[in-house]
Chains A and B, each alone.
Chain A
Amino acid sequence: MRPLTLRRLFVQCAILAAILFVVVIIALKVGAVQVSLWGLGRDLLRVLYHHGEEIKSDYGLIVMDIRLPRILLGIFVGASLSVAGTGFQALLRNPLADPYVLGVSSGAALGAILALIVAPHLNLSPALADLLTPLGAFLGAGATIAAVYVLGRREGQIDSTTLLLGGIITASFISAVIMFLMTSLTGSNLRGMAFWLMGNLSTSLQRSVYWVLGVGFVVASGAIYTTASDLNLLLSGEKEAMHLGVDVPRVRLVVYIAASVLTGLAVSVSGAIGYVGLLVPHVMRQLFGSDHRILIPTAALGGAIAVVIADTIARTIVSPAELPVGAMTALFGAPLFIYLLRRRMA
């Protein structure tokens, strides 16, 4: 008998955090312009001590203004999708659930397309116009969450099966609407949209958006973490969890809303990056066990590592051109998924 202790949780998260740190340094270093480790360390220290102006301008531009924000976005997106996937798998009691299973990504895509169509007619300032697509995506995701919630209730409570069916139906309906609207997009908008549907991290965002994402992640994944041991009991069934003192309707509502918010935020800044939210929880379960008290933080770190690696490969492999990161995660994710599936059956 080896019950989870705070010490073990801390040690295992520290190991993953160290791996993430190394991955981030490598991601900062590689790219079309090579940067020396020494220069990188010196510049990072300068930023920390608020001497940013001493950094050579081209270095500063590439490393601090292009690569670093993109890596931070990758960390946020990977962590959010993995925590959301972990939550949805437990909530829907379905190992195949991922953050997009309830149609949040389709809703976000619809919102983004509507924003792209409407933007030219609005006469907005450039700053606001940049924000319009992510904002439209987030509103689309929110509307979908609300619609699926209404569809997914039975006798006033969320019902896992009804929720899943409601989500799948909503997603396919929205996809049909998207196909219809795509015909009205032209030229660069259409290419941007395709890139966006595949998922990518090259969007440039204002500093304030990073704050919104960071706070949103901490609040929403914190909310899911408060239900961690309830989720452990939910794995043996809803009746069983109830008899062990879990307030099942409350847990379902908290996880549903928080996981949806995480997905909505991630999708609105990066599009639908596939496989991360499905696979990372499974890999972490193999490594650290099914206890959600350790699964949720390790999934967050593992998701961040996975997306930063995938995006680094995506932007260097066909350099100076770029692949969408979603293509990368699918390329590696699909075979990994088949491997895990075969292993489980063996």
Chain B
Amino acid sequence: MTLVARPPASATIRSPLEAARANSDVRLSVEQVSYAYSPNPSQAPLFTLEAASFQARAGEIVAILGPNASGKSTLLKLIAGSLAPLSGRVLLNGFETHALTAKTRAQRIAMVQQESPLLFPARAWEFVLQGRHPHGRSLRFESDADVTIARNALAQVGAADLSERWMAELSGGEKQRVILARALAQQPLLLLLDEPTLHLDIAAQVDLLHGLRRLAVENRYTVVVVTHELNLAAEYADQVVLIQRGKCLRVGPPSAVYQRELLEQVFQTPLTVDLGSSGRPRVSVVAERQEFK
């Protein structure tokens, strides 16, 4: 038996030939997307997102980082196709996401966001089965296949035992897993998450991102996650998109984006950046900081 030495994943795109092949399996392509929001069309926009571009392949995790109100969630909505870009376009497997019908979009893109509370009680399995909605006709009763998919989705996030529980009685981490399971039941190509680690303790945060890493590889998802957790993003993301006040400052692997001066300027906080034990950058807050400017 011979072992074929494979180059590490980060070293795949080196030669022009390999770069061209890598480009061919680009799944998500964000091309010069911009957006402006104004409550009144005659006034100057209150908020603008300047042209942002990046690409992601199947199995990749992209983290969008930036301070509050920098346009992270807006970029995520543009990717999801629920907002129409002012210029540029977002392509998912060559189709513009905003041009898809709501149903087709939901078959290809799943969004995990801060949930509003349920109006009437539902069990976890009922919640996860909702993920099958875009794949059925509107009045169809769930088939055995749907049930199997929902059950697998719960198992994939380690929540099989939560199936019969009421949503209202789950803890934050358990609830987040069930919400993720519903997204998996959609069987999407693209999985979008808006601050999924919010309100989770550190163990639940690591569990979630570790799970995402595994799912991205196993199910060939492209994952885009908006987060404030710089260190978790550095640990788990293949690419980082750094945004500040609607401007996309840097796109690249964490090692390229995590530079002390850049992060200090973006987050307005004294920081140090060094290498963690995994070989990825690690950010620490410097205790003696100046007062707010």
Contact = CB atoms under 8 A, between A and B. Distances in A.
Interface of A: 1, 3-6, 89-90, 93-95, 225-230, 232-233, 235-237, 239-240, 242-247, 285, 290-291, 293
A243 B110 contact: yes
B102 A246 contact: yes
Given A229-B140, A243-B111, A245-B102, 12 more contacts: A1-B150, A1-B163, A3-B147, A4-B142, A94-B119, A236-B116, A243-B110, A244-B130, A244-B131, A245-B133, A290-B120, A293-B139
A239 B111 CA distance: 10
B106 interface: yes
A313 to B, nearest CB: 30
Given A244-B131, A245-B134, A226 B116 contact: no
Interface in B109-125: 109-111, 113, 115-116, 118-122, 125
B247 interface: no
The size bracket of the interface on B is 35 or more
6 contacts: A1-B125, A225-B139, A229-B139, A236-B130, A245-B104, A285-B120
A245 B102 CA distance: 5
Contact of A227 (B115, B120, B138, B142): B138
Closest 6 CB pairs of A and B: A245-B106, A245-B134, A237-B116, A3-B142, A290-B120, A245-B103
A293 B106 contact: no
Listed residue (A226, A227, A235) with the most chain B CB atoms within 10 angstroms of its CB:
A235
A269 B146 CA distance: 45
Given A240-B115, A245-B106, A3 B121 contact: no
Contacts of B104: 245
B165 to A, nearest CB: 12
Contacts, number: 91
B292 interface: no
B192 to A, nearest CB: 9
B127 interface: yes
Contacts of A3: 125, 129, 141-142, 146-147
Interface of B: 80, 82, 102-107, 109-111, 113, 115-116, 118-122, 125-127, 129-131, 133-134, 136, 138-142, 146-147, 150-151, 163-164, 186
A94 B126 CA distance: 20
B76 to A, nearest CB: 11
Contact of B119 (A1, A93, A229, A239): A93
B122 to A, nearest CB: 6
Contact of A240 (B116, B122, B125, B136): B116
B118 A233 contact: no
A246 B141 contact: no
B169 to A, nearest CB: 14
A1 B139 contact: no
A90 B164 CA distance: 24
A108 B147 CA distance: 46
A75 to B, nearest CB: 24
B176 to A, nearest CB: 14
Nearest to B150: A1
B147 A233 contact: no
Contacts of A243: 80, 82, 106, 109-111, 113
Listed residue (A6, A225, A239, A293) with the most chain B CB atoms within 10 angstroms of its CB:
A239
Nearest to A2: B125
Contact of A245 (B105, B115, B163): B105
A4 B141 contact: yes
A235 B119 contact: yes
Contacts of B139: 225-226, 228-229, 293
Nearest to A250: B102
B118 A236 contact: yes
A61 to B, nearest CB: 44
Contacts of B138: 226-230
Contacts of A6: 141
Contact of B115 (A229, A236, A242, A293): A236
Given A93-B119, A229-B133, A242 B82 contact: yes
Nearest to A90: B119
Contact of A290 (B122, B146, B150): B122
B204 to A, nearest CB: 21
A228 B137 CA distance: 12
Nearest to B135: A245
Contacts of B121: 290
B131 A95 contact: no
A225 B102 CA distance: 20
B223 to A, nearest CB: 16
Nearest to A229: B138
A244 B186 contact: yes
Given A1-B163, A229-B138, A247-B102, A235 B120 contact: yes
Contacts of A233: 130, 133
Contacts of A290: 120-122, 126
B147 A1 contact: yes
Contacts of A230: 138
A246 B127 contact: no
Contacts of A285: 120
